[in-house]
Amino acid sequence: MSFNIAIDGPAGAGKSTIAKKIAAELSFIYVDTGAMYRAMGLLFLRKGIDSKDAAAIEAAAREADVTIGYENGEQQVYLNGENVTASLRTEEAGNMASATSIYPGVRRQLTALQKELAARQNVVMDGRDIGTAVLPDAQLKIYLTASSHVRAVRRYEELKAKGVDSDLSVIEADIIARDQRDMTREISPLCKAADAVEVDSSELTIDEVVETVRKLYQERTGASV
């Protein structure tokens, strides 16, 4: 039986960073759900479907097979058997993914594919609704959070390192607004699963958060890492 770790939480809490590190340590598959939505967006672009054409979007989504694999230790995303990893980080794919992820059919199809993947392999999956909607039976659920100010500072420092001028107060306001949208959206809103362990990373380093999750895994399995 596969072992699943679900990591949920608000934007900027460090979910992807922690999920990738834990997956690497445990030799689990890290499932990048965002990349899967981008692959779906790429499909719609290739088919020339307008993002506002709900019927066409949902019909195409039903025929899509998106999965995750690894080649030479690097995560690869496959769309209907084709490796599309190199095409996912374009602005067009990202915008289409964002515009079409609101459709129930898109979310339903990708949720089903994510469930299938988790049933076959040990996975670490992060997102907004993994522990509540995608993997409700995950053996370990983490709700990773941090204060809005800490998350804003992290984002500000990232932008600063890239040479991008930004306003910390504007970034924090955007994060607070995004939290509100994620928590109140109609389909699979962000919320802490009843059986999730909350980990506040506000005062923790990345390594300290990883150690916390590692200990929780060991408690669940009795395994040494």
Q: Residues forming the annotated binding site for ATP? A: 9-17
Q: Give the residue ranges of the annotated binding site.
A: 9-17
- Phi and psi dihedrals of 6, rounded to 5? -105, 125
Terminal C-alpha separation, the chain:
19
Q: By three-state DSSP, how is residue 9 classified?
A: coil
What's the CA dihedral at 188, 211, 151, 31 to 10 degrees? Answer: -40
Query: What is the spatial distance between Cα 6 and Cα 134, in angstroms, rounded to a whole number?
Result: 9
Which of 46, 158, 155, 36 is CA-nearest to residue 92?
A: 46
